[in-house]
């Protein structure tokens, strides 16, 4: 501790280098802390459990061009064909694909008067049959699945039943069972909850309502289909699907085969790009800071060779010289880290306000400062060891 005062005095006598390095550390801490926080937040988002058998579900689209086709009847026939194929665990048509960024959503009310009744959050609105749960691979935790005779083809049917996610049930009826509860779609349509699934995400990965989903007992005659099978069978299954469906009715086009895992990957592509760019920026900032510090130490060695030699001649050990440069580094890093930490919090508040990001956790500035100390220690040690090896005779020799 007694050596700190002369070290500080030495830094103040040559202000330009330490001040520039101090500013670099301040900016690096502020940026790296927030970038690391955003990276972790995006990675956590991308790794969320969808509750769906993403790898097993193969999706595709059917486009019918024959106006004489009865879409409702054809939909039922196609589903029976798909379920009869080898290695298929389950199959169903769907009005929307999970995690796709496109689909149907709605809000429901807890009473018949939408102006006074409490509303649910925005929910993803799937339509399906008694086969949909198994096709999605979701787990029923309360209540029951649809019965076959409860399935309707009419989206406006007065006998709509619902399967809802546990997240939605807990939000609307906390500490209560949702089974048997009723919701209202407008003033006249009443729907009943018959079952609760553990987890099933909607289509919009950036939505705060992603975990809120419902399935209605409607066999929707659209163009999207899902087949659940082991991933190793997907390639062969694509040709089997084409052969079976085109044999039954050749007047259509079947394409866009992809797994839900691929759909999810595409939806998170922007987040993945952000993680990559920010990670590169963090590495670059740490590298620049390390190089700047290494350069300053090497410059100081050239400028202070005589001083180092004098210290060695007066009895300073190699460890003392090494400690001198490390102490200078720690003083700059700690001061820069404290100021940079405050700046990181202020920057985090601005990001939270303008970009709807969560509040910066204080652990990130702290860890960034610790990381900066470790990185700069490595950057200082190599040139400092060179300084410590300077011979007293060589250092004090007149030039």
Q: Give the Å distances, CA to CA, from 140 to 136, 149, 180, 354, 355.
A: 11, 19, 15, 39, 36
Q: pLDDT tens for residues 60-108?
A: 999 988 888 899 999 999 999 999 999 999 999 999 999 999 999 999 9
1 confidence band (pLDDT: 50, 70, 90): very low
Q: How confident is the model at residue 392 (pLDDT cuts 50, 70, 90)?
A: low
State whether 25 and 159 are in the same domain: no
User: Do 13 and 62 reside in the same domain of the chain?
Assistant: no
DSSP E strand stretches across 272-386: none
Specify the pLDDT at position 199: 95
**Strand extents, DSSP E, the chain:** 57-64, 90-94, 105-106, 123-127, 140-143, 161-165, 182-185, 189-197, 213-216, 224-228, 252-259
Given this model, what pLDDT does residue 21 score? 78
Q: Is residue 52 part of a domain?
A: no
SS3 259: strand
Q: What is the reported pLDDT for 77?
A: 95
* Number of neighbours of residue 264 by Cβ within 10 angstroms: 22
Kindly give the interhelix angle for 71-84 and 234-248, rounded to the nearest 10 degrees: 140
Query: What pLDDT, on the 0 to 100 scale, is given for residue 294?
Result: 77
Q: Is the predicted pLDDT of residue 399 greater than 50, yes or no?
A: no
Q: How many domains does the chain have?
A: 2
Both 353 and 390 in one domain: the answer is yes
Q: pLDDT: is 204 or 292 the higher one?
A: 204
Q: Say whether both 129 and 182 belong to one domain.
A: yes
> Which phi and psi (to 5°) does residue 61 adopt?
-125, 145
Which candidate, 281, 168, 160, 286, places its Cα nearest to that of 219? 160
**pLDDT-derived band at 2, boundaries 50, 70, 90:** very low
Who's near 244: CB < 8 A, 6+ residues apart? Answer: 81, 82, 85
Which range, of 215-229, 269-283, 360-374, 381-395, averages the lowest pLDDT? 381-395
Q: Is residue 206 part of a domain?
A: yes
Domain boundary among 266, 283, 304: 266
Q: What is the pLDDT of residues 359-369, one digit of tens each?
A: 888 899 899 88
Structural domain contains residue 218: yes
**242, 266, 290 - which closes a domain:** 266
Q: Are residues 255 and 227 in the same domain?
A: yes
Claim to verify: residue 309 and residue 160 sit in the same structural domain: no
**392 lies in some domain:** yes
* Between 22 and 259, the higher pLDDT residue: 259
| Element of type H or E holding 132 | helix 132-136
Q: Are residues 187 and 156 in the same domain?
A: yes
Q: Largest Cα–Cα distance in the chain? A: 103
Answer whether residue 137 is part of any domain: yes
Q: Which of 266, 291, 309 is the endpoint of a domain?
A: 266
State residue 330's pLDDT score: 83
Do 25 and 70 reside in the same domain of the chain? no
244 and 276 assigned to the same domain = no
- 8 Å CB contact between 148 and 75: no
Same domain, 72 and 194: yes
188 shares a domain with 143? yes
What average pLDDT does range 267-293 have in this prediction?
Answer: 89
The DSSP H or E segment spanning 346 is helix 318-355
Instruction: Name 126's bridge partners.
Output: 215
Work out the mean pLDDT of the chain and round it to a whole number: 87
| Residue 23: predicted pLDDT | 84
- DSSP assignments along 138-179, one per residue: --EEEE-PPPGGG-BS-TT-S--EEEEEHHHHHHHSTTS--T
Mean pLDDT for 105-128 is 90
Residue 3: count other Cβ atoms within 10 Å of its Cβ.
11
pLDDT band for 383, please (50, 70, 90 cuts): confident
Q: Which of 279, 277, 379 is nearest to 21 (CA)?
A: 379
Residue 357 domain-assigned (yes or no): yes
What's the average model confidence in pLDDT over 135-143?
96
Note the pLDDT tens digit of each residue in 234-271: 999 999 999 999 999 998 999 999 999 999 999 999 99
Whether 179 is covered by a domain: the verdict is: yes
> Is residue 49 within 8 Å of residue 199, measured between CB atoms?
yes
The answer to whether residue 243 sits within a structural domain is yes
User: What six digits make up the tokens of 233?
Assistant: 């069978």
Mean pLDDT for 108-130 is: 90
* H, E, C per residue of 186-251: CCCEEEEEEEEECCCCCCCCCCCCCCCEEEECECCCCCEEEEECCHHHHHHHHHHHHHHHHHHCCC
Mean pLDDT of 349-358: 76
Give the lowest-confidence range in 68-82, 156-170, 374-388: 374-388
Residue 378: domain span: 4-47+269-396
pTM: 0.80
141 plus 241 within the same structural domain: yes
């Amino acid at each position: 501790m007694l050596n700190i005062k002369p070290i500080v005095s030495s830094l103040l006598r040559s202000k330009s280098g330490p001040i520039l390095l101090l500013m670099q550390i301040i900016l690096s801490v502020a940026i790296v802390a927030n970038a690391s926080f955003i990276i972790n937040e995006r990675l956590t988002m991308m790794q969320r459990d969808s509750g769906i058998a993403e790898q097993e579900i193969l999706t595709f689209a059917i486009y019918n061009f024959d106006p004489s086709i009865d879409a409702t009847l054809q939909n039922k026939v196609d589903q029976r064909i798909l379920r009869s194929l080898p290695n298929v665990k389950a199959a169903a048509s769907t009005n929307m694909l999970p995690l796709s960024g496109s689909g149907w959503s709605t809000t429901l009310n807890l009473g018949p008067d939408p102006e006074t009744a409490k509303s649910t959050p925005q929910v993803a609105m799937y339509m399906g049959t008694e086969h949909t749960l198994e096709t999605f691979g979701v787990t029923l935790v309360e209540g029951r699945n649809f019965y076959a005779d409860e399935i309707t083809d009419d989206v406006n049917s007065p006998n709509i039943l619902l399967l809802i996610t546990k997240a939605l049930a807990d939000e609307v009826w906390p500490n209560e069972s949702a089974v048997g509860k009723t919701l209202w779609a407008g003033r006249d349509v009443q729907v009943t909850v018959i079952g609760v699934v553990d987890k099933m995400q909607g289509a919009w990965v950036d939505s705060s309502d992603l975990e809120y989903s419902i399935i209605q007992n409607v066999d929707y005659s659209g163009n999207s289909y899902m087949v659940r099978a082991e991933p190793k069978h997907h390639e062969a299954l694509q040709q089997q699907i084409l052969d079976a469906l085109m044999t039954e009715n050749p007047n259509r086009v079947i394409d866009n085969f992809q797994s839900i895992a691929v759909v999810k990957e595409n939806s998170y592509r922007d987040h993945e790009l952000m993680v990559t760019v920010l990670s590169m920026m963090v590495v670059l900032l740490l590298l620049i800071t390390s190089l700047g510090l290494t350069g300053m130490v090497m410059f100081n060695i050239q400028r202070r060779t005589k001083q180092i030699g004098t210290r060695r001649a007066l009895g300073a050990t190699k460890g003392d010289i090494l400690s001198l440069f490390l102490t200078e580094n720690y003083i700059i890093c700690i001061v820069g880290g404290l100021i940079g930490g405050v700046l990181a919090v202020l920057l985090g508040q601005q990001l939270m306000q303008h970009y709807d990001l969560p509040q910066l956790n204080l652990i990130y500035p702290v860890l960034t400062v610790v990381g900066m100390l470790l990185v700069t220690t490595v950057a200082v040690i190599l040139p400092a060891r060179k300084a410590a090896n300077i011979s007293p005779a060589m250092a004090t020799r007149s030039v």
